[in-house]
Amino acid sequence: MLIFRKPIENIERPQMPADVVIVGGGPAGMACALRLAQLIDAHKAAHPDSELSKENVYVLEKAREIGQHCLSGALLDPRSMRELLPGFEKQAPLDADVTKEAVYFLTEKSKFKIPTPPFLRDHGNYVISLNRFVKWLGSKVEEAGITVFTGFAGCELLYDGDRVSGVQTDDKGVDKEGQQKSNFEPGYDLKAKVVILAEGPRGSLTKQLTEKFDLAKNANPQTYGVGVKELWEVPPGRIAKGEVIYTMGWPLTTKEYGGAWIYGSSNNVVSLGFVTGLDYPDPRLDPQHVLQDFKRHPFVEKLLEGGKMIRYGAKSMPYGGWWALPALAGNGWMMIGDTAGFLNAARLKGIHLAIKSGMLAAETAFDALLKNDWSAATLDAFQKKVESSWVKEELWKVRNLHQGFEHGLFAGIFHTGLQMITGGRGLRNRYSAVAGYERMRKLAELPADGGAEKNLLGRAKGDGKLTFDKLTDLYHSGTKHEEDQPAHLVIHDTNICNVRCVKEFGSPCQNFCPANVYEMVDDSSQPNGKRISLNPSNCVHCKTCDIQDPYQIITWVPPEGGGGPNYDGM
C-alpha cells in the first residue's frame, strides 16, 4: 500500500510574518530577491526615515544548498544580468565566451552541417554552469541581507478568500506511513503580503494556483521537453572552449521534437544533453535512452572517446512560449521564470528571461510595498511591465515556433521558415497547441516492434564506457533523500496504473522517468499481474511524470526539504 505525502492535519503550526516570500531560489527567484534588495536599499538611502525593510523578504529553496537543483545546458545571454548587476562579468563564474557555433542534422551514420539560423547565433553569450552561477547569485542575495531558507520547500499556498496570503513549508520528520517521528518538525505558515512563485518548470504550487483560479484559461496549454544531461571530462583538443554545437535528427525520427546540445566548457569539460519534446507518440520511448543512442553517433563517440562521464541529471523545460503564459499576477501573488513559462524555445534559452521576469516582479513588489497595496490592482502592473519590456519583444517573434512542429519535423521546418520572414506570425497570428501527453498513442495503435523508433524504445543497456543504463547514470546525479518518508509522487488512483495503463500504454512512467522512480512489479493479485511501485528516493525533481503521464493522475509534490539531486557543476 503506497502512502503519499500530504501536510499533517490538525496540528498547530508555527507562524512567521513576511512581506515577500519568493518560492524557489533559481535564477528567477534570486534575481527577484536581489533586485528587491537593491530597490529597498536605494529608497532607504534617499529616505533615511523610511520604514521599508529587507528583514521580512525571504527566499524558500528546497535544495540543501543554493543552486544544487539547478540544471541547464547552459548558455547565458547576458542582457538581463547587465541590467541587474552592471559589470557582472568580472565576478560571476563564467566558463567561456562562445567562440564557435554549428548546427548539424544527423542521420544514423552521417552528419550534415546546416546554416546556423539567426536565433542560434550565440556569439556574445557565455557558457556557464547554472549550478555555479546560481550559487554565486545566491551569495549576492545573502550579502544584500536577504534570508534564504535552504532545505525548505513551499508545499501549500495559504489563502484568505480569493487572496494568496502565504506559503506553508514542508513538514519534516514524517515517516513512510505518514506518522510523526520523534524529531517531527511541523511546516511553518509563512504569512506573506505577496508570494512570488519561482519554482521552475511545472511548479507544484503554481499547479495548485493555476487550477484553483483557472489562470491558463486564455492561454495555450503549456508544452514541455525534458533535457537529459551528462557532463563529461574529455582528453584535450576534442572541442574548443566556448564551442557550441546543436544537432537535430537522429536518433529521433521526424515524429518527435527535440535535439541535442554540446558545449565546450573550461578544463576539458563538455556539457552534452538531449532534449526530447514531451509530446512524442510512442509510450515506450525513453528520453534517457535517446541520449545514450545519440552518444553512439560516430561524431559524438569520437568526441567522447577516452573521456569520463562525471555528472548526470534531467530537468523539464517549458516550450510553449508567449501564448502559453498564464495570468502572471493576482491578489497576493506573481509568477516568474520557468514556472510561468518564460523561455525562448527557438534560442533554447530561458535563464536571461527568468532573470528579467524576476527583476520586473521585484519592481512591482517594491511599488506594492510603497503603496502597501497587495491586491491584483497593483500587482497586475507586472503583466504590463512584461508586455512593455524586451521579454515580450523577444518571445513575440517566436510565439508560434513550437506549435509549428506539432505535425512533425518537416511541417515544423516549413512553419519556422515562414515565421522567420513574417516576424513570428507564420500562417496566422496565433497557432493553437495541445498538451503533449494527449499525443501519446496506445500500444494497440502502434507497430509491435516500434517501427522507425524501435531503437529508442525501452531501457538503454549501456556499455559502461560511452553509454550507460539508467541506474548508472542516476548514481551520477548525486540524488539523495530521507528514505523514511511518504512517497512524494502522488498517484491519485493507482488502479488506473495497475488495471488500465499497463495494458493501454504499457506503463510509460517506467520509460519517461529519467531516474527509475517508477517500477511495475509482479503481483499475482492484480488483473494484469503487475502493480505500480515507487522508488521516490531516486527522484531528480525533473517533473516529467507530472507532465507526461497520459491520464494526468501523477502530482509531484516536494519531498522533505533538503532532499534531491546534487548538480555540482551542472
Partner 1 sequence: MKILVCMKQVPQKDAPLKLNESGTWIREDVSYEVNEPDAYALEEALRQREKHKGEVVVITSGPARAQQVLREALAKGADRAIHLEDEKFVGLDAFNTAKAIAAAIKDEPFDLIFTGLQSDDYGYAQTGVILAELLGWPHATIIMQIEKTDAGIRVKRELEAGYFQFVDMPLPAVLTIQSGINKLRYATLIGIKQAKNKPLRKVTLAEVGGAIGNNLQKIERLYVPQKTKKTEYIEGPAGEVAKKLVDKLRNELRVL
Q: Is 478 in the site for partner 1 (CB under 8 A)?
A: yes
For partner 1, the binding residue among 28, 190, 245, 343 (CB under 8 A) is 190
- The minimum distance between CB 568 and partner 1, in angstroms, equals 5
CB 382 within 8 A of CB 360: yes
- Identify which of 14, 1, 8, 10 has the alpha carbon closest to the alpha carbon of residue 174: 8
State the Cα–Cα distance between residues 66 and 139, nearest whole angstrom.
9
Touching partner 1, residues 329-358 (CB under 8 A) = none
Residues 106-125 close enough to bind partner 1 by CB under 8 A:
none
**Using rule CB under 8 A, residue 173 touches partner 1:** yes
Return the range that interacts with partner 1 (CB under 8 A); candidates 101-109, 149-157, 218-226, 392-400: 149-157
Distance CA 427, CA 297 (A): 36
Find the shortest distance in angstroms from Cβ 474 to partner 1. 12
- DSSP output for 309-339: EEEEEEEEEE---GGG----EETTEEE-GGG
Exactly one of 480, 490, 494, 523 binds partner 1 (CB under 8 A); that residue is 480
Name which position in 310, 376, 418, 490 contacts partner 1 (CB under 8 A): 310
C-alpha cell at 155: 508545499
Nearest approach in angstroms of CB 191 to partner 1 is 12
Distance of CA 306 to the CA centre of its chain: 31
303 Cα distance to chain centroid: 28
Q: For residue 528, with 0-12 CB atoms within 10 Å meaning exposed, 13-18 middle and 19 or more buried, which class applies? A: middle
Figure out which of the listed residues 34, 68, 488, 536 binds partner 1, where binding follows CB under 8 A.
Answer: 68
CB contact set of 447 (below 8 Å; sequence gap of 6+): none
Instruction: Give the full edge-to-edge strand order of the sheet including 96-97.
Output: 75-76, 126-127, 96-97
Q: Which residues contact 161 (CB under 8 A, 6 or more apart)?
A: none
- Contact between 62 and partner 1 per CB under 8 A: no
CB of 54 or CB of 349, closer to partner 1: 54
Q: Choose between 76 and 474: whose C-beta lies nearer to partner 1.
A: 474
Q: What is the CA radius of gyration of the chain?
A: 23
Q: With binding defined as CB under 8 A, does residue 17 bind partner 1?
A: no
Question: Of these, 87, 109, 115, 182, which contacts partner 1 (CB under 8 A)?
Answer: 182
Residue 524 as a binder of partner 1 (CB under 8 A): the answer is no
Report which of 509, 511, 101 is spatially closest to residue 287, judged by C-alpha positions. 511
Task: Give the three-class secondary structure for 457.
Answer: strand
- Residue among 135 and 349 whose Cβ is closer to partner 1: 135
Locate cell 524555445: which residue?
Answer: 345
Q: Of residues 41, 65, 363, 367, which one binds partner 1 by CB under 8 A?
A: 65
Q: Select the residue interacting with partner 1 from 185, 363, 469, 519 (CB under 8 A).
A: 185
φ, ψ (nearest 5 deg) of residue 44:
-70, -30
Least distance to partner 1, CB of residue 420, Å: 41
Q: Of the candidates 126, 152, 250, 431, which one interacts with partner 1 according to CB under 8 A?
A: 152
Size of the site for partner 1 (CB under 8 A): 27
DSSP-derived secondary structure letter, 479: -
Distances (CA, A) of 189 to 11, 15, 305: 12, 5, 52
568 forms part of the interface with partner 1 (CB under 8 A): yes
Quick one: which of 2, 8, 16, 499 contacts partner 1 (CB under 8 A)? 16
306 binds partner 1 per the rule CB under 8 A: no
Among all chains, which residue has been given the C-alpha cell 514556472? 339
Q: Least Å distance between CB 64 and partner 1?
A: 8
Q: Is 183 in the site for partner 1 (CB under 8 A)?
A: yes
By CB under 8 A, tell whether 172 contacts partner 1.
yes
What residues make contact with partner 1 under the rule CB under 8 A? 14, 16, 64-65, 68, 132, 147, 149, 151-152, 169, 172-173, 181-183, 185, 188, 190, 310-311, 476, 478, 480, 566, 568-569
